[in-house]
């Protein structure tokens, strides 16, 4: 699998913040519909965008109002965020091999930067493609295409790693090969550390850091 760049979903791949998001959505449900979002409601939706949160959970607010709520309340629940133990070493190896790196996430930019920064992963990425930067979140292709545009690469030069149907749908719609983490795709891995053998051994000099 030859590639010049690897695009990563954030939540479920680099970190896991499901419990933090569940707590925030419980609070959002109390605020915007009068009852907390339950775990049963939340579980099949994790990874969707804010507009879908408003629609699926029946919240009486706009996506912008919900994003503002998330920005205010998520940091209070962020201490329990899990960091993938394979992430740091993998990203170091990709950088050493000259492979470009981007995050493609349905999280808005301030929260993505905060979560990646707390995990000490932010500086590995050249591009953050976040939900507030495009018209449509995953599974639409907008975020993947945004990342490719910022990297200056065509779809065939990239691989995307994700763990949800939203990731797989976005990659497919953008024409990018998809590696599923615990999920079927063009290739499948069970641990993030299994990605490296699928990629070329060398591609050139190390690429620059995040911007």
Angstrom CA distances, 53 to 21, 46, 47, 84, 120, stand at: 11, 9, 10, 25, 28
As a whole number of angstroms, the distance between CA 69 and CA 25 comes to: 10
Active site residue 67: no
Beta-bridge mates of residue 179 = 161, 187
Residues 6+ apart with CB under 8 A from 81: 15, 16, 17, 20, 115, 118, 119
Sign of CA dihedral 103, 104, 109, 111: negative
Name the residues annotated as catalytic: 9
């Amino acid at each position: 699998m030859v590639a010049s760049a690897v695009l990563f979903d954030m939540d479920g791949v680099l970190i896991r913040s499901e419990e933090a998001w569940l707590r925030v959505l419980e609070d959002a449900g109390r605020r915007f519909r009068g009852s907390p979002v339950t775990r049963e409601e939340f579980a099949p939706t994790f990874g969707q965008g804010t507009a879908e949160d408003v629609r699926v959970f029946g919240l009486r607010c706009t996506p912008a109002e919900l994003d503002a709520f998330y920005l205010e309340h998520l940091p209070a629940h962020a201490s329990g965020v899990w960091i993938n133990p394979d992430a740091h070493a993998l990203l170091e190896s990709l950088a050493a091999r000259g492979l470009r790196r981007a995050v493609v996430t349905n999280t808005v930019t301030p929260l993505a930067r905060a979560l990646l920064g707390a995990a000490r992963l932010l500086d590995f990425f050249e591009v953050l493609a976040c939900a507030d930067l495009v018209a449509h979140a995953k599974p639409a292709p907008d975020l993947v295409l945004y990342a490719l545009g910022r990297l200056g690469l065509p779809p065939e030069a990239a691989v995307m790693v994700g763990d949800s149907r939203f990731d797989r749908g976005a990659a497919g719609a953008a024409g990018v090969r998809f590696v599923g983490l615990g999920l079927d795709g063009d290739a499948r891995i069970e641990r993030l550390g299994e990605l490296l053998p699928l990629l070329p051994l060398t591609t050139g000099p190390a690429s620059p850091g995040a911007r």
